[in-house]
Structure 1
């Protein structure tokens, strides 16, 4: 091969390499362009989806609804608890989003009280309503019963707000003939409330809420039955759960009262309910401190071993199973939790000094938690 031929061959090879590199570069450019387009589309779809999700959460749950739903916001409620209450009542779609949304908007100043809200309201509408506070018409008598109060505390409140004496109130709520009449009138009440071992027959059934009366001094019967009607309305919302439950309404209200006495946070109500159910399944004593305080008739800052010796049907350390009756008057969140326990394997729980609840499956794990947090 001549020198000239070799030169031509080299030139052809260079041209071939350049063509191949050009083709490769073109392919790479196409791939990069395609990837960029896919990324742009992905971001667009994500952004579009996020926009519509946020828009959907902020919009009314049911724009066509004209039903007014009674909602009670307890004193000292955090944004988290308010969000949970609204979600539990079907007024918003996501409690966590509500919490982040009010933080994002720097919303504060929510007012405790009883509200009538609708599923046709937007989240912003509800925020505005809760900040303005409850607008009430002029009532001759109004009083509020917080969650978890003992019946004697409720009677004291009624006595202080009306001209009814403690003696008259006590006589009425222990009148067997009157109680039998109530049983025939309200589906939430059964023969269980006539058990003579109960401290108070109507304990657990006087719903905690704000009550307003047009009359300046309504009768004892009117006051009590207004409270019983409210309980029946709340419990009626969970009729299907009650139908499916293995426990009676009286037992459910008793479990709800225990949950009310133990839980500070909504999420813990369902977990603690799960613990109670797990213990009942294996016939393990419930061993819950609020029942001991109720058995003694006085609140303790801390339950001691000496308190556990009391021989009472309310003593869940001495007697297994559900106690003979409620130990306070629970709110809706606790009633719902008693009917919808969280499914888990925990048998123990302990609330530390900051209100955080620690759960464990075994007694050994529970003891380790106690050693860590009790000191």
Structure 2
């Protein structure tokens, strides 16, 4: 009897020791310094999915974190303001359930260049323009046309690298979604070639309705080896809103100068709308080779030959 009691007592104390060691281990684990961005994006989903998403984004999470979150409460979805102060793991987990980041809207309009857009974003969000451009060059696969035009809700306090990551990730998903809907698959190089054409359309067309017609002019000229000779292609980079002059046309030696060089520019001119991309993929069937803006309507007068084009130009100039 006494031996049996001693046996159970030993087991009891062993279990107590085991749980004490386990608790000490957990407390130690939760007290370790935890490195985090100042703001963190939490997608909607179960706690297990959230932990997995954080782990996929280099936040080295474990099952312990999942169970601690069950205890602390359900994490809020969206942007979480973690702050700049050094914190430990349990403080990080606690902030996921309590903090929320203040957001600010930034707008990328169709036809705007990345350089000009990031210049404005740097002012609006009090960020470094130089760092934004550097991060874009590091993270983006192409120098232009990688961003999806729309209104973005951005958390205040976000850093340059995370902002670029956010913009590119969202834009990638939108492009992939559109490509799969149109082609049944997403081929990044093929899609970007359409983006290059779409960027010229975006700069030249007066509205969405004109886009397929402008696309037909581009393809008709390319087909016969005729230079595009379009002002809009020279509104690249920080020249986005610069008036094109004869001097610019004479001196610009980039591939964007379609007065000097045949074919499309080597890279997109700007960021484009889905309407412009659809126009590049599905151009109108016309024989137009020229167009001239009508000063009264703001729309374009399309013509098939140089004589009719010259007449349209003369009419607009009052000759």
What is the TM-score when the length of structure 1 is the normalising length? 0.52
| 298 and 261 in structure 1: CA distance in 2 versus 1, 3 angstrom threshold | closer
* Equivalent residue in structure 1 for 2:178, among 216, 222, 237: 237
Given that 1:256 and 1:330 are in contact with CA atoms closer than 8 Å, whether structure 2 keeps it comes out as yes
Equivalent residue for 1:228, pick from 148, 160, 168: 168
Answer whether contact 1:257 1:328 (CA < 8 A) is retained: yes
User: Which structure: larger Rg?
Assistant: 1
Are residue 211 (structure 1) and residue 174 (structure 2) matched?
Answer: no
Residue equivalent to 1:255: 197
Ranges of 4+ aligned residues in structure 1 off by more than 6 Å: none
**DSSP-derived class of the 1:155 partner:** helix
Instruction: Name the residue aligned to 2:290.
Output: 348
Is the CA contact (8 Å cut-off) linking 2:235 and 2:241 kept in structure 1? yes
What's the C-alpha RMSD, in Å, of the aligned pairs?
2.7
Q: Distance in 1 between matches of 2:130 and 2:233?
A: 26
Structure 2 partner of 1:111: none
| Partner Cα separation in structure 1 for residue 204 and residue 173 of structure 2 | 24
Structure 2 regions of 5+ residues with no counterpart?
A: 1-99
Contact 1:295 1:312 in 2 (8 A): no
User: Does the aligned pair in 1 maintain the 2:128–2:160 contact within 8 Å?
Assistant: no
Question: In the aligned structure 2, how far is the partner of 1:150 from the partner of 1:322?
Answer: 17
**Conserved 8 A contact 1:238-1:336:** no
Question: 1:346, 1:362 within 8 Å by CA — same for their partners in 2?
Answer: yes
CA deviations on 1:82-133 (whole Å, 9 max, x unpaired) are xxxxxxxxxxxxxxxxxxxxxxxxxxxxxxxxxxxxxxxxxxxxxxxxxxxx
Unaligned runs of 5+ in 1: 1-136, 184-192, 194-200
Structure 1 residues 250, 350: CA separation in 2 closer, same or farther (over 3 Å shift)? same
- Pairwise mapping of residues 15-26 of structure 1 onto structure 2 (< 5 A)? none
Q: How does 1:123-272 map to 2 (within 5 A)?
A: 139-175=102-138, 178-179=139-140, 183=141, 193=142, 201=143, 203-213=144-154, 215-235=155-175, 236-239=177-180, 241=182, 248-272=190-214
